[in-house]
Amino acid sequence: MAYKNLCISIMKENRMLDRYLKTVITKCNYSKTTNFESSENNEKTTHFGFQTIKESEKTNEVYTVFENVANYYDIMNDTMSMGIHRIWKDIFIQELGPTHGTHLLDSAGGTGDITFRYMNFLKNTPNPQAIRSSVTVCDINQHMLDVGKERANRLGLSQDTNCSITWKQENAENFSFPEESFTAYTIAFGIRNITYADKVLSEAYRVLQPGGRFLCLEFSHINNGALQWLYDQYSFQIIPVMGHLITGQWKAYQYLVESIRRFPKQEDFKDMIQTAGFRNVTYKNLTYGMVAIHSGFKL
C-alpha cells in the first residue's frame, strides 16, 4: 500500500510539473517581440522575465535585481554553472584575441570578469614595444562596479603598467562616449537585461572605430529537446532555490531563468546585429547552444 501511494504521489507531481512547463513554453512563445501596446494608456510595455511591465519601469527593476545580488554575484555564477561560466568567458576572450593597443569598452562589465581576462591575456602576450592598451568598464549599476573595483585592487590590476582601467557608471542604451572611441566592444550576459537591445547595438556601433569588433556572450537556446527538458528542470526547480539559500533572493534568480527564455534565438539576434550596421556577423554555440558568442565588425 505504501508503495502504491508513493507511485500515485510521484505521478501527481509529474503531472503538475508538466503543466508548469507547458505554461513556461506558452509564455516563451507568446511573442517574439519585446514591446507590446498597453490597452490602458498606450504606454509601451516590455517583459521582465515572464511579467509584462511598462518600458519605463524595466531599468529600475533590473537595477534593483543586481543591486541586491552584487556581493554574491560571482559566487552564484560559480554555483549555478558549476564553474562552466569561467570556461565560456575564457573562450570569449580567446575569440576576441586582443592585441596590444586595443581600446576595449566592456559594457555591462559589472564585477570585471571579462575585463580581468582581457588584461591577463595582454599580460601573457609579448609586448616588446611597450604599447599601451586600455579598458573602460561600464555598468548601469554602481554596486556592481564597486565590487569590480575591489576585485581589481585585490588582483593587483588597478596599477597595470601596460593596460589602464577605467570604471564608469553608464547606460548602454545611451553612452556619454564620443563616436569612434574604442577599437573593441564586449558585452557578456548583459544585453538581455536591457530594455532596448536595438539601442544597445546602435550605441555599440556608434562608439566603435571603423574596423572595430563587437562581441557578445549571452545565454541562448538549446535545439535538442531532451537536453532542453533537463535544462528547464534545473533552471526552474533548482536555480531559484540556490539563489534564495545563498543570497536570500528568490525573485532575482527566478527572473534570471525567465529572461533567458525571452531572449531572441541565435538567428534572430544575428539579424538584429546586422540591422544595427555590423558586417561579417557570425555566432558560435557553446554547450549545445546554452550560450552563444555573437560577433560583428564595423566596416
Contact partners, residue 261, CB within 8 Å, separation at least 6: 24, 27, 28, 50
- Assess contact for 244 and 29: CB atoms under 8 A: no
Instruction: Establish whether 52 is an annotated binding residue.
Output: no
Name the amino acid, one letter, at 157.
L
Task: Report how far residue 271's alpha carbon sits from residue 126's, in angstroms, rounded to the nearest whole number.
Answer: 37
Instruction: Establish whether 136 is an annotated binding residue.
Output: no
- Whose CA is closest to 205, among 266, 279, 141? 279
- Whose CA is closest to 257, among 193, 188, 171? 193
Instruction: Establish whether 161 is an annotated binding residue.
Output: no
Contact partners, residue 240, CB within 8 Å, separation at least 6: 250, 253, 254, 257
- Assess contact for 191 and 272: CB atoms under 8 A: no
Instruction: Please name the residue that has the C-alpha cell 521582465.
Output: 48
- Assess contact for 259 and 190: CB atoms under 8 A: no
Instruction: Establish whether 111 is an annotated binding residue.
Output: yes
Binding-site residues sit at: 111, 139, 171-172
Binding-site residues for S-adenosyl-L-methionine sit at: 111, 139, 171-172
